[in-house]
Each structure stands twice: as structure tokens, then as C-alpha cells.
Amino acid sequence: MSDFDRVEVIDNGAALRLLREDGSDLRFHAIWLRDNALDPATRSPGNGQRLITIGEIPAATRIESAVLDAANRLTVTFAPENKTVDFRLAWLNALAYDRTPAMEAGWLPESCETWDGGFATRLPQLDFTRAKQDPQALANWLAAVRRFGFAIMTGGPVESGALLEVAALFGFVRETNYGRWFEVKSEIAPSNLAYTSLGLQAHSDNPYRDPVPTMQLLYCLENTAEGGESFVVDGFRAVQRLRQENPDGFALLSRHCARFEYAGTSDTHLRSRKPIIELAPDGELVGVRFNNRSMAAVTDVPYEAMPAYYAAYRHLATIVDDPAMAASFKLEPGASFLVDNTRVLHGRKGFSGSGSRWLQGCYPDKDGLLSTLAVLQNNGRRIAAE
């Protein structure tokens, strides 16, 4: 609600207060308002980018006057520039920061919904042909990826490289030492254990990269092998469980960096130093790195804390391995799945030597996916003042 009916300048012009009839209010600082002004001298009308630096705004900026009119417009005059700028109340309301959220470490935004194995009965799916023809259906599918970190695309072409057509629906593929895409086939002398018929514990891909691949697309071309089902585990749900069952362990895995490494071929040596559980500075859970194959020797945990760190790592692994956490499915040729690799762990069951299993994978970036989603939802230009 932006039904403000009064404004007052407070703290000698350092801030203003918008008041509603019911007595609730929102405060904004002079420096915040000045920096975020939408006038054409501050923001480019063409691309929305800011035209001034923080140093060009006087440190002594204060509010000289603030007037609210009947058109839900707030007119503010800043001193010492003697500059007058209009703000829409709905815009201010949408960007309100005058709140004190009680957020415990590991909190998640509303746009994120965690799940366990029961998710298998409601996996988001979309047909490839429909995705190409129906922007609303594609938007819904991308929104499901944002919410659950996972979705399936069915009905794609059964031909090598078709995964790039799926990725092109929403974004851009990151090229790595594995190429623009990579093959997941059984090999006799594999350079990576993914290329065998062994089962693989649920994991996130390539934690030895910094930044990690943010999404992974795995595309099925053949799947006649006995077994070999894919499964996914919501790493965020696993972390939530760990926090509940073992708060000290949760703290250890988030406060200390692990190390990850891959040097499986002579031309590659990738290393990273990042925590298994990554939190933003305000405690938001933003990432999980979990991969037994590529975890290197951990050397950033104090001697005294190492046993408890290992116990916490074991505890998290036990949760990840809990069958109740896994959503399983089997891909048909032409089907693919997309996971948020910063959150959802993927694995596969072992499969027998008869029949064949051929997948191709690539790493599209999540920022492009979220951008496409925002554009499809017609809110890509958040700078719009109206």
C-alpha cells in the first residue's frame, strides 16, 4: 500500500518520513533519495544507468523541503545543490528499506521454495515445441526453475548438440575446459568419474570453479541401460535440515572455507576456496557446494574445530543421502533437465553394461535465465518510474 497522506522532514533534513492514515510510516534518507533520483541528469532516460558517481553528490546533502501532492507524487528539494526531484510513491513503497527483518542465518527469499523427495510427483515440465511457441508457458517454466531450482524439458530433438537449442530459449552457455558442452557416456579410461557406469552421489558440479557454473542442463540422447535413473536433492532443504538438527555443524560449514580441486587432465588445474554452505553477509543462504570427488584437503579450519567440521560434513552427507530427500526420474531421449547448480544436487544410480546411456551437458548461466524471466514477465526495466 502506498496510501501515504503526509510527509515530514526529520533529523534536520537528513531524512523524511512518509505517514499513512493508520499511523504507519516509512523513512528515507536524504542521501538515498538523492542517489536514487530518476531525473534525466542523474539517470540516463535511455538505458536507466546512473550518470553520476557518489563523489559528485555532496556529502552534506539534506532535504530542504518535501511536498506530497494528490497525484501520489513526492517532490523533494535537496540542499546544497538546490535540486528538485519528483518521486512516485508506489516506486518508493516498492523500494522501502525502513524495516528490521528478523532473519536467522540460512534464511531464504520468498521466491524460493524448498522440497524433498515428494517433489518427484510434481516435477515442473514443459514440452520443447510449446516452449518455443508460448512465451507464457516458457515464463512459467523459468519461474519454476527460480522457485525450485529444477525443471524438465521434454520432446526436444534427438540429435547431438540439441541441448544448445534448449539453452538458447532462455540464456547463454558458459564455455569451460570441458567445451561448450560435454558428453556423459561410459568410457573405458575415464578422465572423470562421471564418464563411467558407477552410481554418483548427489553433488553440485564443478565446485572447483570460481564462480561455479550457476546452472546445468543435462540432455538425454540415449537411455536404454538398465538403471541409470537420475535424481536430484534440494541442497537448500538439506542445509535447512542440518541447521535444525545440528546448528553448530551448520555454523561450521558456513563459516569456514573448504577447498575444491580438479586436475584430471594435463592441461587443467582448477582450484577454489569456498564454504560448503555459502551465506550472504546478511545470512541469506545463497549456495551449496557438495562434491565428494572434487573436495580437496581442507586447510582453513582450525585444528581444534576440525573433528567437529568433519562431523558436520558427515551429517550433511547423511541428509543428502537420505532416500526421502531424493526426487528420481528417468529421462527419455530428447528430454533434459535443468538444475540450479548453486542449490540443487544431482546424481544418478548405477547402470549395467548392457544398453546405452548417452547424455550431453552444458552450463547456461542463471543471470541470463533470470533476465529472460524478468523480460517475459514484463518487469525487466525496474527503473520505470511509473
Q: Which residues bind Fe ion (CB under 5 A)?
A: 205
**Nearer CB in complex with Fe ion: 205/234:** 205
**Nearer CB in complex with Fe ion: 243/289:** 289
**Nearer CB in complex with Fe ion: 115/363:** 363
How remote is the C-alpha of 265 from its chain's centroid?
30
SS3 60: coil
Residue 22 C-beta: closest distance to Fe ion, Å: 53
CA-angle at 19, arms to 15 and 23, nearest 5°: 130
Q: Is the peptide bond before 211 cis (omega within 30 degrees of 0)?
A: yes
The helix (H) or strand (E) run that includes residue 317 is: helix 306-321
CA distance 361 to 380: 29
Residue 145 C-beta: closest distance to Fe ion, Å: 17
**Nearer CB in complex with Fe ion: 215/279:** 215
**Nearer CB in complex with Fe ion: 205/278:** 205
Question: Which residue carries 551465506 as its cell?
Answer: 279
Task: For residue 74, list its beta bridge partners.
Answer: 68, 87
Residue 81 C-beta: closest distance to Fe ion, Å: 55
* β-pairing verdict for 150-154 and 173-174: unpaired
**Nearer CB in complex with Fe ion: 230/372:** 230
C-beta nearest to Fe ion: residue: 205
Residue 334 C-beta: closest distance to Fe ion, Å: 20
**Nearer CB in complex with Fe ion: 342/372:** 342
CA distance 167 to 165: 5
The helix (H) or strand (E) run that includes residue 340 is: strand 336-340
Q: Are 37 and 28 in contact (CB under 8 A)?
A: no
Residue 203 C-beta: closest distance to Fe ion, Å: 6
Residue 307 C-beta: closest distance to Fe ion, Å: 29
**Nearer CB in complex with Fe ion: 239/345:** 345
Residue 199 C-beta: closest distance to Fe ion, Å: 12
What is the sign of the dihedral through the CA atoms of 158, 159, 164 and 165?
negative
**Nearer CB in complex with Fe ion: 212/279:** 212
CA-angle at 135, arms to 134 and 140, nearest 5°: 100
Task: For residue 153, list its beta bridge partners.
Answer: 126, 336
Which has the closest alpha carbon to 369: 215, 233, 236, 165? 215
What is the DSSP-derived secondary structure letter of residue 253? H
Residue 205 C-beta: closest distance to Fe ion, Å: 4
What is the DSSP-derived secondary structure letter of residue 192? S
* β-pairing verdict for 270-274 and 277-279: unpaired
List, in order, residues 6 or more apart from 38 with CB less than 8 Å away: 85, 86, 87, 91, 383, 385
Question: Which residue carries 577454489 as its cell?
Answer: 272
Residue 43 C-beta: closest distance to Fe ion, Å: 42
